[in-house]
A and B are shown apart, each in its own frame.
Chain A
């Protein structure tokens, strides 16, 4: 199947954001919290995207924010996959009461809307970056658990796993050498979706003032800081908000194509 133009756009967007996240602080013309001008200055050669509500350079803060916002979301997603996949494989391979307890526990956690549970927890925990990563990762890992358990369930009944069990291999071997390599493809597509979730979730929390705390630059927080500009007819909060939206659209375009491709391939081999 020839990749559509929309997929190439998606990959291009991801590449640009990856570059901004890696090189952002180096490329940015001013410091992260450096006050360099007046409040909400218009676009100019010195400040290509104008200045924010405290007179800080908008472009610099966007670049600093890229590495922080994307970095935190990525860390949370990786941790979510670590937790979710470990528990999911454990439930599938061991089965029995371990599976029951884990599955029922995760079901209950999923019965509470994620944003609401995060708000409850953040009411008592200090809003540090580590806490944010942990909270987002734990809530996001429930979805990873469900998928990892489901795909691993199909693999553990295969003969080669049975052979490994009879050979007397230990749990670690069965999980990492037998099940993991055979369940990776669907989980990779899921990674894009979970990253989008973590990224939007972090941005929403920061927008509500409960995520990454000022003066650190973060895109959701930048929308919040500059929200008042809109009543003066200045589209300033739309800049960081668009930065968030464009990345999630880019990732979704790629994931959508990948999901469609894999289901299309399956359709092909069916009689």
Chain B
């Protein structure tokens, strides 16, 4: 087999294994109590009848590994279980929300990726000048701030003081695309800011790293301009780490969405999960947890595979 195919196949098998173990960990995460989940959900003051009812609901009389396999099998069939709080099938609760979350993360990514890479290249081109230093301080501050701080500043300035955009991102099924885009403008801006800062710093680092190679010195001695060296000589070789950075940040985006959704009361998966944790609705927490975790694992796997594909030494192996 071509070594490239073999490497990619190896990664995919490894990824499938990781997904399986991750699902077991998420399941085990709700089992770490010395007592049992039913008692934890209802608290110390619960009547024995109520505890018994929940126990039966969750099938707690069976050993944990049987329940895990059962849960996993259901999950693969698309049956995510039933919410403890309102008896609604979880797949129904998630359907529209998953779309909303993907929309939010997708729009943020579509804006953040090109902006971050452009800024990263500019910072690397003008390295050690006041422009680079300004970008560096601003982005360092942006990644140091909690998402809710950025979110509330944007709400305060653009929604409360200037009345440009709505402060609460309410969307509903059948909404026009442009209306929807307008409704999510602030959460998208919040997410983009954090991700741009991180991606841009790592893009700059990747290019600066390549700029230290001897062949760049040769290009300099040949008398090429710094812009030409940065764009034509350094950037192509920094592409592999940059692709990696981009995908890892997309994975981060999927998680960062949780806090941002709560700030803007956006009807997405993150909000659903946080509510379920507060209500101790264990089946919903497990289902949303595994979806978030699986997305994260798959994106990281994509980063791995793309990094392999972008490496010319592996691509053209003899």
Contact = CB atoms under 8 A, between A and B. Distances in A.
Interface of A: 6, 108-109, 111-113, 115-117, 119-126, 196, 200, 203-204, 207-210, 220, 223, 227, 230-231, 233, 235, 237-238, 241-242, 244-245, 248-249, 251-253, 256
Nearest to A109: B25
B160 A116 contact: no
A204 B148 contact: yes
B285 A120 contact: yes
A46 B148 CA distance: 29
Contacts of A203: 146
Interface string B17-43: 010011001100111110001001100
Contacts of B103: none
Interface of B: 18, 21-22, 25-26, 29-33, 37, 40-41, 137, 140-141, 143-149, 152-153, 155-156, 160-161, 167, 251, 254-255, 258-259, 262-263, 273-274, 276-278, 280-282, 285-286, 289, 292-293, 296-297, 300
B25 A117 contact: yes
A113 B293 contact: yes
A111 B258 contact: no
Given A108-B25, A238-B149, A119 B297 contact: no
Residue with the greatest number of chain A CB neighbours at <10 A, chosen from B32, B148, B155, B251: B148
24 contacts: A108-B21, A111-B22, A112-B25, A112-B293, A113-B254, A113-B293, A116-B273, A117-B26, A119-B274, A122-B277, A124-B33, A125-B33, A204-B259, A207-B146, A209-B274, A220-B146, A223-B152, A235-B156, A237-B152, A238-B149, A241-B148, A244-B149, A249-B145, A252-B143
A111 B26 contact: no
A231 B155 CA distance: 9
B167 A200 contact: no
Given A108-B25, A230-B155, A238-B153, A123 B140 contact: no
Nearest to B143: A252
Contacts of B262: 207-208
A173 B207 CA distance: 43
A111 B18 contact: yes
A207 to B, nearest CB: 5
Contacts of B259: 115, 204, 207-208
Given A204-B146, A237-B152, 14 more contacts: A108-B18, A112-B293, A113-B255, A117-B29, A119-B258, A120-B289, A122-B277, A123-B30, A124-B280, A220-B146, A230-B160, A241-B149, A249-B140, A252-B140
Contacts of A121: 29-30, 32
A153 B142 CA distance: 34
A124 B30 CA distance: 6
Given A111-B18, A230-B167, A233-B161, A124 B152 contact: no
Contact of A233 (B149, B160, B251, B285): B160
B240 to A, nearest CB: 21
Nearest to A245: B145
A211 B143 CA distance: 22
A126 B262 CA distance: 22
B30 A112 contact: no
A117 to B, nearest CB: 6
A105 B247 CA distance: 23
A231 B285 CA distance: 30
B286 A120 contact: yes
Given A108-B18, A111-B300, A233-B160, A248 B26 contact: no
Contact of B37 (A113, A124, A245): A124
A235 B152 CA distance: 9
A196 B144 CA distance: 8
B146 A245 contact: yes
A34 B95 CA distance: 45
Given A123-B277, A230-B167, A241-B146, A113 B152 contact: no
A100 B249 CA distance: 28
A120 B26 contact: yes
B29 A248 contact: no
B278 A242 contact: no
Nearest to A113: B255
Contacts of B33: 124-125
Residue with the greatest number of chain A CB neighbours at <10 A, chosen from B33, B37, B274, B300: B274
Contact of A116 (B18, B32, B292, B300): B292
Contact of B280 (A6, A123, A196, A227): A123
Residue with the greatest number of chain B CB neighbours at <10 A, chosen from A113, A116, A196, A253: A116
